[in-house]
């Protein structure tokens, strides 16, 4: 069960604590892992699948902040657990997803007692923050047509792309009409 990402490299005492405290979480595609305004009570590690973390603008447009993939954790969850703040975004399973969750007290104990766990949490936090700054720069400064071309190339499997204009727009943080016009 602890062969998930960096958790496999933790100290034995940290692994034991996780083994005792963790609970499995199964999310069907489209199910919410969390919603904006929810209180955060558990640390989430994705074992299989993907959770999309996004916010909605006042105009109803979705902005995808990041995705939590296999072996990764949600840094928004980490931030909420450490600060006591409520979620300011939503997490939705993009596919059937399996995860483990640790209650907040176990998370706090691991932060206090496990240097490897603490390093994992803060390096993940730093990486995601770096990526979010890149997202802001991309949205602000880069042309949508170039972003769309790069994104289409990243989605192509054997020259085929299976998605919708709306999904592309959500991924690129633009309007569906813009994607349709560019395509």
- Cβ distance 50 to 69 under 8 Å? yes
> pLDDT per residue over 41-67, tens digit each?
999 999 999 999 999 877 777 888 889
pTM: 0.72
> pLDDT per residue over 114-137, tens digit each?
999 999 888 888 888 887 777 776
Average pLDDT over every residue of 143-157: 83
The pLDDT of residue 174 is: 80
- Cβ distance 93 to 53 under 8 Å? no
> pLDDT per residue over 64-85, tens digit each?
888 999 988 998 999 999 999 9
Average pLDDT score over the chain: 87
């Amino acid at each position: 069960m602890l062969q998930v990402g960096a958790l496999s490299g933790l100290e034995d005492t940290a692994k034991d604590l996780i083994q005792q405290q963790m609970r499995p979480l199964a999310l069907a595609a489209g199910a919410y892992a969390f919603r904006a305004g929810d209180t955060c009570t558990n640390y989430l590690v994705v074992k299989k699948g993907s959770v999309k973390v996004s916010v909605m603008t006042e105009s109803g447009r979705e902005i995808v902040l990041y995705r939590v993939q296999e072996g990764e954790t949600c840094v928004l969850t980490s931030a909420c657990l450490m600060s006591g703040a409520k979620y300011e975004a939503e997490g939705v399973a993009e596919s059937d997803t399996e995860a483990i969750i640790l209650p907040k007290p176990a998370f706090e104990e691991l932060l206090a007692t496990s240097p490897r766990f603490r390093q994992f949490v803060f390096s993940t936090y730093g990486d995601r923050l770096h990526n979010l700054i890149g997202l802001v720069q991309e949205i602000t400064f880069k042309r949508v047509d170039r972003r769309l071309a790069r994104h289409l190339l990243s989605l192509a499997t054997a020259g085929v792309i299976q998605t919708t204009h709306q999904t592309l727009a959500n991924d690129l943080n633009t309007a569906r009409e813009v994607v349709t016009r560019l395509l």
